């Protein structure tokens, strides 16, 4: 009995460490993307660009990730998950290092594309590892743990990056991400589980696996569902920092509070949401969270300029908790909507379309916002209406997602 208990305890510890390791990879990946939002004001001033050109930098990362993930979907299931994760993470760190030495708009654009090619595929591999290792009854909790990386990136990563930019320059922020990523790379090489391909060996790569994924109508519903989830948040998220700074009068340190306070609350809520998703069902929890998220989405895009800072921070915190919370049950649904032998390819396609949705969200937000002569922005409310529409579409499509594994 004692031996059995010890074995079970060791299993739990191994599962928790795996979640921690995958979350650490996601932490640097998410921070690299998220830090672009609060640094927007630096880029606008240094490169003398408008919000449309800045959103093009954001979307270039996303569209590069989309193309890479779509190509990778044809062969990702033929490789050991561990080998794929390590290779992609090395490429991501190289791309981020290039951002650290960027000195022109063109070079920054090239660096973001490089980071996007590799970073965009990492999420798909991580989700595939979760789907392979964790049974469906534990998948929501595991997904909540990995999603906690978003919270840690908000609490520690983004505020640290903002302060580094304030004192040393925005280039050093990307160097900081690389320094964080190097020990994570070593741990991944040592401790990620080896998960060999479940496909039969094929000598020549073709598009058969991609065709299989896209020829199934249930897969198409699942992919469209997650795209609408992403668009329901990113259209607003991309412009929050610069809007709060220019329109609400937030200082750069107060902008960092948005991520610190929101991240702390999101870190706690992500575990709770993961547990509730396993306990009461992914569809039900997703529906509740989306309906609740509509309130802060409309609130944050209609804030009066004379609103006290502490009240504005309250709105941004609720926004971050509920909008990021929707992703947990939606990801759990997604990883359960595909058979194990196709999960890597499916998640690569999903990562591609997720990046497309992110790029569209960035372009849409940048195109709708109009900068006035005094530096402030208008039509943020219109951005909110688009986000509401995408969330309602996500509710409809969620009923089409069927659990198969």
Q: What is the CATH number of the domain that holds 393?
A: 1.20.1250.20
- Considering only residues 156 and 108, tell me which one the structure prediction assigns the higher pLDDT: 108
How far is Cα 334 from Cα 227, in angstroms, rounded to an integer? 11
* pLDDT score recorded for residue 73: 66
Average pLDDT, the chain: 83
The most confident of the ranges 131-140, 145-154, 290-299, 322-331 is 290-299
How far is Cα 176 from Cα 168, in angstroms, rounded to an integer? 11
Question: pLDDT category, 5, cuts 50, 70, 90?
Answer: very low
Whether the CB-CB separation of 242 and 41 falls below 8 Å is answered with yes
pLDDT digits (tens, 9 = 90+) for 129-168: 887 788 777 777 777 777 667 667 766 778 888 889 888 9
Question: pLDDT category, 319, cuts 50, 70, 90?
Answer: very high
Mean pLDDT confidence for 5-34: 74
Question: pLDDT category, 291, cuts 50, 70, 90?
Answer: very high
3-state class of 370 per DSSP?
A: strand
Residue 327 burial class via C-beta count within 10 angstroms: exposed 0-12, middle 13-18, buried 19 and up: buried
How far is Cα 265 from Cα 274, in angstroms, rounded to an integer? 14
* pLDDT score recorded for residue 3: 40
How far is Cα 365 from Cα 387, in angstroms, rounded to an integer? 10
101 has a pLDDT exceeding 70: yes
304 has a pLDDT exceeding 80: yes
**Closest to 102 (Cα-Cα) out of 29, 177, 171, 181:** 171
Q: Is residue 5 part of a domain?
A: no
Sign of the Cα pseudo-torsion (198, 203, 208, 210, in order): positive
**Closest to 265 (Cα-Cα) out of 325, 308, 307, 310:** 325
3-state class of 379 per DSSP?
A: coil
Question: pLDDT category, 321, cuts 50, 70, 90?
Answer: very high
199 has a pLDDT exceeding 60: no
Q: Is residue 202 part of a domain?
A: no
Q: Is residue 241 part of a domain?
A: yes
Among 161-165, 361-365, 400-404, name the one with the lowest average pLDDT: 400-404
End-to-end CA distance of the chain: 31
Question: pLDDT category, 231, cuts 50, 70, 90?
Answer: very high
Q: Is residue 189 part of a domain?
A: yes
How far is Cα 160 from Cα 173, in angstroms, rounded to an integer? 8
The per-residue DSSP string of 194-226 comes to P----SPP-SS--SHHHHHHHT-HHHHHHHHHH
Q: Is residue 404 part of a domain?
A: no
Length of the chain: 405
**Closest to 357 (Cα-Cα) out of 330, 321, 322, 319:** 330
**Sequence-distant (≥ 6) Cβ neighbours of residue 187 within 8 angstroms:** 21, 24
Q: Which residues are paired to 378 by β-bridges?
A: 370
* 167: number of Cβ within 10 Å: 8
* pLDDT score recorded for residue 207: 64
How far is Cα 110 from Cα 295, in angstroms, rounded to an integer? 38
* Domain region containing 263: 21-193+207-398
The per-residue DSSP string of 351-365 comes to HHHHHHHHHHHHHHH
Contacts 24+ apart (CB under 8 A), 387-392: 387/231, 387/232, 387/233, 387/235, 387/236, 387/297, 387/301, 388/232, 388/294, 388/297, 388/298, 390/228, 390/229, 390/231, 390/232, 390/235, 391/228, 391/229, 391/232, 391/290, 391/293, 391/294, 391/297, 391/326
* pLDDT score recorded for residue 187: 92
* 66: enclosing H helix or E strand: helix 51-72
* pLDDT score recorded for residue 2: 39
3-state class of 302 per DSSP?
A: coil
Question: pLDDT category, 297, cuts 50, 70, 90?
Answer: very high
Mean pLDDT confidence for 267-273: 84
- Considering only residues 113 and 237, tell me which one the structure prediction assigns the higher pLDDT: 113
3-state class of 247 per DSSP?
A: coil
* 254: number of Cβ within 10 Å: 15
Q: How is residue 260 written in tokens?
A: 């610190």
Instruction: State the total domains in the chain.
Output: 1
* 21: enclosing H helix or E strand: helix 2-34
How far is Cα 214 from Cα 37, in angstroms, rounded to an integer? 33
72 has a pLDDT exceeding 80: no
**Sequence-distant (≥ 6) Cβ neighbours of residue 252 within 8 angstroms:** 38, 41, 162, 166, 245
Q: Is residue 59 part of a domain?
A: yes
Question: pLDDT category, 90, cuts 50, 70, 90?
Answer: very high
- Residue linked to tokens 């309130």: 295
- Considering only residues 185 and 355, tell me which one the structure prediction assigns the higher pLDDT: 185
């Amino acid at each position: 009995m004692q031996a059995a208990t010890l074995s079970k305890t060791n299993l739990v510890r191994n599962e928790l460490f795996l979640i921690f390791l995958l979350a650490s990879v996601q932490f640097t990946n998410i921070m690299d993307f998220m830090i672009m939002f609060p640094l927007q004001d630096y880029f606008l001033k240094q490169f003398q660009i408008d919000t449309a050109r800045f959103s093009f930098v954001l979307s270039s990362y996303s569209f590069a990730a989309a193309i890479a993930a779509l190509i990778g979907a044809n062969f990702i299931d033929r490789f050991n998950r561990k080998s794929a994760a390590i290779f992609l993470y090395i490429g991501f760190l190289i791309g981020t290092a290039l951002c650290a030495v960027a000195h022109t708009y063109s070079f920054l654009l090239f660096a973001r594309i490089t980071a996007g090619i590799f970073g965009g595929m990492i999420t798909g591999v991580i989700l595939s590892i979760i789907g392979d290792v964790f049974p469906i009854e534990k998948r929501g909790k595991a997904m909540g743990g990995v999603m906690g990386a978003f919270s840690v990136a908000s609490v520690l990563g983004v505020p640290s990056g903002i302060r580094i930019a304030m004192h040393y320059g925005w280039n050093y922020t990307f160097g900081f991400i690389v320094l964080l990523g190097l020990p994570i790379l070593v741990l991944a090489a040592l401790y990620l589980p080896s998960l060999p391909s479940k496909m039969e060996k094929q000598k020549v790569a073709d598009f058969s696996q991609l065709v299989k994924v896209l020829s199934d109508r249930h897969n198409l519903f699942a992919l469209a569902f997650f795209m609408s989830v992403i668009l329901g948040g990113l259209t607003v998220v991309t412009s929050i920092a610069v809007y709060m700074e220019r329109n609400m009068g937030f200082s750069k340190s107060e902008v960092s509070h948005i991520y610190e306070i929101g991240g702390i609350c999101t870190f706690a809520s992500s575990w709770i949401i993961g547990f509730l998703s396993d306990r009461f069902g992914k569809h039900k929890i997703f529906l509740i969270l989306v309906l609740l998220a509509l309130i802060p989405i409309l609130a944050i895009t209609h804030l009066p300029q004379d609103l006290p800072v502490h009240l504005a921070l309250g709105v941004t915190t609720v926004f971050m908790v509920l909008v990021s919370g929707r992703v947990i049950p939606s990801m759990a649904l997604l990883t359960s909507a595909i058979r194990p032998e196709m999960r890597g390819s499916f998640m690569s396609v999903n990562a591609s379309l997720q990046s497309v949705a992110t790029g569209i969200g960035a372009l849409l937000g940048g195109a709708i916002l109009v900068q006035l002569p005094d530096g402030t922005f208008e039509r943020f409310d219109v951005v909110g209406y688009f986000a509401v529409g995408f969330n309602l579409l996500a509710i409809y499509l969620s009923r089409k997602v069927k659990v198969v594994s």
